[in-house]
Structure 1
Amino acid sequence: MTSTIVMKGISKQFGKKVVLNEIDLTVESGQIYGLIGPSGSGKTTLVKLIVGMDRPSTGEVHVLGTAVPNLKLLQEIGYMAQADALYADLTGAENLSFFASLFKLKKDVKKKRIAYAADLVDLSSHLHKKVQNYSGGMKRRLSLAVALIQDPEVLVLDEPTVGIDPELRRSIWTEISRLKKTGKTIIVTTHVMDEAEKCDQLAMIRDGKILTSGAPQQLKQQYGIVNLEDVFLQAGGKIK
């Protein structure tokens, strides 16, 4: 198996505050890799380092064999942030067209990718509306569509299903599983344990450290516990 993402000795400080502390992480190609942990645990900082939006204080990050940050590498990475980075005064279609134009897609490919992404997140009938008139859930769905627009090799999703109804959440996870089967590598941050169960591998993070990592079933067997929530608590020393 090829390693798509390799992080070695990663630490990150903001002033005197240590946000990540000596993180080692390897993600193989064709995996759904889940980062789980509470708010403030360091998950978002970690994915920003993978995307290249920030640099580590110490350590190295490589994605697809290339040191991060790297501008050309962004052509191969789709990123959905926790905060929706959309143009509110443009329509949904105009947002998708703008972001697609950043990836130098041919006209016919661009049209197909916009239609695919909009259909996946159930926004096809709302693309003519300005984003300022979208609900919070619709903005999250549009952000996911933007992350998928250039058919990236690596997909980084930071809390992708927050504010999305259960039916659509299920369809999104069905598509994530399909993308994995095509060889894509997918990083998902979540605090929802049933989503964690859908991942091939997990890293449980608290206070900037990886408490434990492995496949969901492997972790449950290792700790002799039937659910991942209790694995997380025991790994963090919260229960014995």
Structure 2
Amino acid sequence: MLTGFTKPTSGTAYIDGMDIRLDMGKIYTGIGVCPQFDLLWETLTGREHLMFYGRLKNLRCAALDRAVEQSLKSVRLFDGGAADKRVAEYSGGMKRRLSVAISLIGDPKVVYMDEPSSGLDPSSRRALWNAVMSAKQNRAIILTMHSMEEAEALCDRIGIMVNGSLQCIGNSKEMRSKYGGTYVLTVTTAAGKEEVVEQLVRSLCPAANRVYHISGTQKFEMPKQGLRISQVFQAMEHAKSWLNIAAWGLSDATLEDVFVKVAKESDISSV
């Protein structure tokens, strides 16, 4: 609805003071969209795509050439002749980066990106993140994604939606503080030692909750309140020898943990 593909059945939204029900013709020149699936012409080159979309944003002559060059450089499609290759010769990562460049050309004030790094290898994903990070300085970018790692890397504010309803919104620190008030202790031991490890963990934190157990590896959620990290470290280091602990680690709750917890609570409350 915000990008004009579907009309709202009720209510409205305003972009730069313009109503999406009445002013989409004007709004289009000030927004950029990167859909989840690439909408590209395989017979055109990357440069030709950006020339076309740049003209739609009212760019002309030297200003258009500068914007195209800048866009190609921002997503690493300028060097090596990539800009003048037909899109049919592009890899999946190159196509994705071109879609992001298209959404950013013309200096839009609002940009929508749906799963921008979907299907990319780690190197291409990092390059794309850098392009988005540098682009967000002077505009609002709205990202939809499933990757909490990506959300934490790119977003100033994060909202979690479950069953079409917004459950919470805030920055990553606020959300971890509110919904992830636990440490996660992971312990890997030889088979047959699991119960002893569980007893040790509960002696350190009676409220500990085992959330994972397979092949000698266990994960425990331990409430932060009243827990001394130094005590956990001392106990685990001391237990290494007599419990034959192969590996252990203590970590803070991640955004992924927050997402799972919020989703579970929402499902329970909707029953």
Task: Give the TM-score normalised by structure 2.
Answer: 0.66
1:195 matched to 2:222: no
Instruction: After TM superposition, give the deviation of residue 234 of structure 1 in Å.
Output: 1.4
User: Which of structure 1's runs of 4+ aligned residues deviate more than 6 A?
Assistant: none
Kindly provide the CA deviation profile for residues 126-169 of structure 1, in whole angstroms up to 9, marking residues without a partner as x.
12211122222211111111111111111111111112232332
Pick from 184, 190, 193 the counterpart of residue 139 of structure 2. 184
1:89 matched to 2:116: no
Secondary structure of the equivalent of 1:50?
Answer: coil
Partner of 1:135: 91
Higher strand content, 1 or 2: 1
Contact map agreement 1:79 1:147 (CA 8 A) in 2: yes
2:28 partner letter: L
Pick from 5, 8, 15 the counterpart of residue 63 of structure 1. 15
2-structure distance, mates of 1:200, 1:177: 10
Kindly provide the CA deviation profile for residues 40-80 of structure 1, in whole angstroms up to 9, marking residues without a partner as x.
xxxxxxxxx22222122222111112111411111110110
Partner of 2:238: none
1:170 matched to 2:100: no
Instruction: After TM superposition, give the deviation of residue 236 of structure 1 in Å.
Output: 1.9
1:237 matched to 2:191: no
Distance 1:87 1:163, change over 3 A: same
1:150 partner letter: G
Deviates more, 1:55-64 or 1:167-176: 167-176
1:201 partner letter: R
Contact map agreement 2:97 2:128 (CA 8 A) in 1: no
1:233 partner letter: V
Distance 1:50 1:142, change over 3 A: same
Contact map agreement 2:53 2:102 (CA 8 A) in 1: yes
Kindly provide the CA deviation profile for residues 100-128 of structure 1, in whole angstroms up to 9, marking residues without a partner as x.
11112121111011111111111122122
Contact map agreement 1:196 1:202 (CA 8 A) in 2: yes
2-structure distance, mates of 1:217, 1:176: 21
1:145 matched to 2:101: yes
CA RMSD of superposed structures (Å) = 1.9
Partner of 1:74: 28
Contact map agreement 2:34 2:99 (CA 8 A) in 1: yes
2:4 partner letter: G
Q: Percent same amino acid at aligned positions?
A: 35
Instruction: After TM superposition, give the deviation of residue 184 of structure 1 in Å.
Output: 0.8
Contact map agreement 2:31 2:110 (CA 8 A) in 1: yes
1-structure distance, mates of 2:123, 2:62: 31
2-structure distance, mates of 1:56, 1:202: 24
2-structure distance, mates of 1:64, 1:82: 24
Structure 1 residue runs of 5 or longer lacking an equivalent are 1-48
1:58 partner letter: S
Distance 1:142 1:180, change over 3 A: closer
Structure 2 residue runs of 5 or longer lacking an equivalent are 183-252
Task: Give the TM-score normalised by structure 1.
Answer: 0.74
Instruction: After TM superposition, give the deviation of residue 86 of structure 1 in Å.
Output: 1.2
Count of residue pairs brought into register by the alignment: 191
Instruction: After TM superposition, give the deviation of residue 197 of structure 1 in Å.
Output: 0.9
Contact map agreement 1:121 1:168 (CA 8 A) in 2: no
1:81 partner letter: P
Contact map agreement 1:159 1:189 (CA 8 A) in 2: yes
Higher helix content, 1 or 2: 2
Pick from 198, 220, 225 the counterpart of residue 176 of structure 2. 220
Contact map agreement 1:92 1:127 (CA 8 A) in 2: yes
